[in-house]
Amino acid sequence: MDLDQLAALRTPEGGTALATAADLAGGDPLVAAAALRSAGISGGLAAAALTQAELRRRAAAKFGPDAARMFFTRAGLEQATRPGVAARRAARLRAAGVRTLVDLGCGLGADAIAAARAGIRVYGVEADPLTAAMAAANAGAAGVADRFTVEPGDATRFDVTAVDGRPVDAVFCDPARRRPGTGRRVFDPAAYSPSWDFLLDLAGRIPRTVFKVAPGIDHALLPPGAEGEWVSVGGDLVEATVWSAPLAGTPRRATLLTGPAAHGAHVRTGARPGEPDGPTRHGPTDPAVHELTGDGTRQAPVGPVRRYLYDPDPAVVRAHLVAEFADTVDGTLADPEIAYVYADAAAPTPYARCLEVVESLPFSLKRLRARLRELGVGRAEILKRGSALEPERLRRDLRLTGTEPISLVLTRVAGAPTALLCHPPQDGL
């Protein structure tokens, strides 16, 4: 798509083409194209409308009903922040007193729209002119065009100290972490665009700076005094964010959005950053928000395998807060390098999945196969930490023929390869 096609889609004829294409999205593309042409829609407009209709269909899982009014590129959709996560960040910025924000590399505008909805005036900068135009269109569709404006330009050359003669309270940057042309993920921060050096310099020049990073980033790279926050949605680790020292509430934070609304477009309430861990407040349409904090350097105590195994949420693991989580369940590790936590009691927790350990075996394929046959196991969920075994190959090698289910955990105990046979706790936790 180009700028002319986007402009055409925003005309009354384009609106008709989009509405017609939406009814055909997900079906045979040749049949859909023929249907649009038979409705008198030109070939170029029909192709653009069908592309947008398909992207909107895919975006519904991330953006909910808002997707039906937004414009997307494939790359932009893949990289866009989930609205619930963006809304949570915007609420935190607003609570910190941010009223004006520069969004460098605003993409399709997901973060900027969330900030604008929170009452923040946002100035977006986007290198790609088409993406910038889509972001502006999305701001209009979201009803925040008066609080979010965007211009095409180089983020590294934009004056972030003042816009339209007004000082800027904070800067947000979501650097591109995919290689142009291939779409492959970039894991080396030096290869981000803008680069890691630029982000560090930005944080040095602008006291209140927030930028996104890959969740696997080395903690040692984070600026002194900054907060690293890892965010999961419904158990999926989706992003990590660096909050510069004036905005940092703790060295490390794991933020978990859970519940049916976790993937939704709005977060209106919840625990305020910096509040003690514990139950959070949320409305009926909001995701529940849970936060675990710490310094990211503590080590949990080590002990034997106990009755219950807790598999911590990936945000907890990546934030290096396993020891802090272990404290909440009076837990220990069975191996200092493995993030499974063991305890004598099953307790409800948003920070981990709980399984009951019914048997522990030194790993041996032959012995494990025989034991599972004795137990009549026919269905095995395979989890692993600290094991090089490939679950699907192991499943084939086990040749299960029974009917009983089991959770098979492959791990290490005091350095030794171990298989744990588990079930959900009897009380249903």
Q: Give the DSSP letter string of 71-110.
A: ---HHHHHHSPPHHHHHHHHHHHHHTT--EEEEET-TTSH
Rounded-to-integer distance, Cα 211 and Cα 22, Å: 35
3-state secondary structure of 58: helix
The CA angle 264-292-332, to the nearest 5 degrees, is 125
Q: Is the pLDDT of residue 386 over 60?
A: yes
Residue-wise pLDDT for 106-149, tens only, equals: 999 999 999 999 999 999 999 999 999 999 999 999 999 999 99
Distances (CA, A) of 226 to 220, 266, 341, 389, 404: 11, 27, 28, 37, 49
Instruction: Point out which residues pair with 292 in neighbouring strands.
Output: 254
The secondary structure element, H or E, covering residue 24 is: helix 12-24
Report the pLDDT averaged over residues 393-400: 95
Backbone phi and psi for residue 133, each to the nearest 5 degrees, phi listed first: -65, -40
User: Can you say how many angstroms the Cα of residue 187 is from the centroid of all Cα atoms in its chain?
Assistant: 16
Strand arrangement of the beta sheet that strand 404-413 belongs to: 332-333, 341-343, 308-312, 352-362, 416-423, 404-413, 377-384
Rounded-to-integer distance, Cα 270 and Cα 279, Å: 9
The secondary structure element, H or E, covering residue 205 is: helix 196-205
Specify whether the CB–CB gap between 241 and 210 falls below 8 A. Answer: yes
Query: Quick one: pLDDT band at residue 209, thresholds 50, 70, 90?
Result: very high
pLDDT at residue 223, rounded to an integer: 92
Using the structure block, give the residue that is written with the tokens 């665009």. 193
pLDDT at residue 429, rounded to an integer: 65
3-state secondary structure of 417: strand
CA end-to-end span of the chain? 49
CATH code at 77-292: 3.40.50.150
Instruction: Point out which residues pair with 69 in neighbouring strands.
Output: none
pLDDT at residue 279, rounded to an integer: 34
The set of residues, in sequence order, having a beta carbon less than 8 Å from that of 285 and lying 6+ positions away, is: 261, 264, 266, 268
Specify whether the CB–CB gap between 252 and 73 falls below 8 A. Answer: no
DSSP-derived letter for residue 363 is: -
Specify whether the CB–CB gap between 264 and 219 falls below 8 A. Answer: no
pLDDT at residue 372, rounded to an integer: 96
Burial of 173 (0-12, 13-18, 19+ CB in 10 A): buried
Determine if the pTM surpasses 0.85. Answer: yes
- What is the percentage of the chain residues whose pLDDT exceeds 70? 92
What count of other Cβ atoms lies within 10 Å of the Cβ of residue 227? 22
The domain spans of the chain are 3-59, 77-292, 308-423
Specify whether the CB–CB gap between 362 and 387 falls below 8 A. Answer: no
Report the pLDDT averaged over residues 197-214: 93
Specify whether the CB–CB gap between 40 and 90 falls below 8 A. Answer: no
3-state secondary structure of 200: helix
Mean residue pLDDT across the chain: 90
pLDDT at residue 262, rounded to an integer: 60
The secondary structure element, H or E, covering residue 385 is: none
* Range in 236-240, 252-256, 275-279, 368-372 the model is least confident about: 275-279
Parallel, antiparallel, or unpaired: how do β-strands 209-213 and 236-243 relate? antiparallel
Report the pLDDT averaged over residues 204-221: 93
What count of other Cβ atoms lies within 10 Å of the Cβ of residue 225? 12
